[in-house]
Copies of this chain bind each other. A is one copy, B any other.
Amino acid sequence: MASTFGHLFRITTWGESHGPAVGVVIDGCPPGIALAEADVQAELDRRRPGQSRITTQRAESDRAEILSGIFEGATTGTAIHILVRNKDARSRDYGEMRTMYRPSHADYTYDAKFGRRDWRGGGRASARETIGRVAAGAIAAKVLRERCGAEVVSYVKRVQDIEAAVAPGEVTRAAVEAHITRCPDPEAAAAMEQYIDAARKAGDSLGGVVEAAAHGVPPGLGEPVFDKLDADLAKAMLSLPACRGFEIGSGFAGTRMTGSTHNDPFYMAEVEPGARRVRTRSNRSGGVQGGISNGEQIVIRAAFKPTATILRPQQTVDAAGNEVTLKPRGRHDPCVLPRAVPLVDAMFNLVLADHLLRHEAQTGGNR
């Protein structure tokens, strides 16, 4: 079990789906960052179940309690602990989970690894674990804003085959929040909503892609050769439940190009009157070259598989080795994409904040 992420800005999450609470310790946050529970709550509300018709109806208010590390309205530089109580933990819905392995869930592998597991609601493998990440990500976002002005905007780029026609640079947080799908293209958003509705009625589920762009990241973040910025982003995304793929910049599509069309030409841009800096004319690099940010937008995409929980009978086995049929039961998210958006935001912000501190250590803060 590895519940800690980050090198300098470091989080440790704990908690199970049907235990009394879940939470996170944030260690290494710089002192003097203004912080209130409302800052954290705003992000938790974006992740919360039951936020719209198209998400799971588990009724959780997910209230953040900050139990340490904040004094007189700001961080002290010491460990911050945030706790969220679990309320609507209907274990009865999950009785079969005690013995049956739900297909494409973590039930079997947790048993294989640990020899035992808290089977209620997925236990530690439940997406409720991500509450801690989102709470911590809200703090990372504040650090980035104060220290370098960077901001991350994530959104649903694709649900199944419906793709938003948007360019990363043009999407605002408001446009993302304008629709319950968190797709900033209204036409695509409407179609996605229909598809998700249809999937729910059919007891089925859908996958898709979240795209995210970070604006205002200064050049120089990333620690080659192993802790490259894109490598840490890839790990961050793949550590999210249901994420099965990651790409930066041109990604997989870029492999079909030639070097002469793929390379990003450098030029000198006048960013203010009299002030010039190095920029690239295209951004197929996605803002990261050689594992280090180059000052352009950092653009990534994360693939989320169709939710494994479906409301249809499925063939499986139980812990005793019997082949059995799992009956449909319980609540489910027919498509995780809308709620994956704040998770991608959180992990992106956490990686950037960690690398900002690492870079400042090396430069003595003289960026």
Contact = CB atoms under 8 A, between A and B. Distances in A.
A103 B267 CA distance: 10
B125 A3 contact: no
B113 A292 contact: yes
A223 interface: yes
Given A13-B79, A25-B14, A255 B160 contact: yes
A239 B228 CA distance: 6
A59 B25 CA distance: 27
16 contacts: A1-B28, A4-B27, A14-B69, A76-B118, A109-B220, A112-B294, A113-B221, A124-B224, A125-B224, A204-B260, A207-B257, A225-B239, A234-B234, A244-B255, A245-B255, A259-B306
5 tightest A-B CB contacts, nearest first: A365-B365, A106-B290, A205-B259, A245-B247, A361-B361
B106 A225 contact: no
Nearest to A220: B113
A145 interface: no
A316 interface: yes
B14 A80 contact: yes
Q: Which secondary structure characterizes the binding site on chain A? A: mixed
A16 interface: yes
Interface string A148-164: 00000000001011000
Interface in A298-318: 303-310, 312, 314-317
A354 to B, nearest CB: 10
A365 B114 CA distance: 12
B227 A238 contact: no
A363 to B, nearest CB: 7
A92 interface: no
A263 B227 CA distance: 33
A357 B365 contact: no
Interface string A293-337: 111000000011111111010111100011100000000000000
Given A266-B108, A266-B315, A68 B19 contact: yes
Nearest to A5: B226
B263 A310 contact: yes
Given A237-B234, A238-B231, A266-B103, A308 B259 contact: yes
Nearest to A71: B118
A109 B295 CA distance: 9
Max chain B Cβ within 10 angstroms of own Cβ: one of A2, A31, A80, A268: A2
Contacts of A227: 2, 239
A359 interface: yes
Interface string A121-133: 0011100010000
A262 B104 contact: yes
A280 B4 CA distance: 31
B125 A290 contact: yes
Given A22-B68, A225-B3, A267 B106 contact: no
A32 B290 CA distance: 20
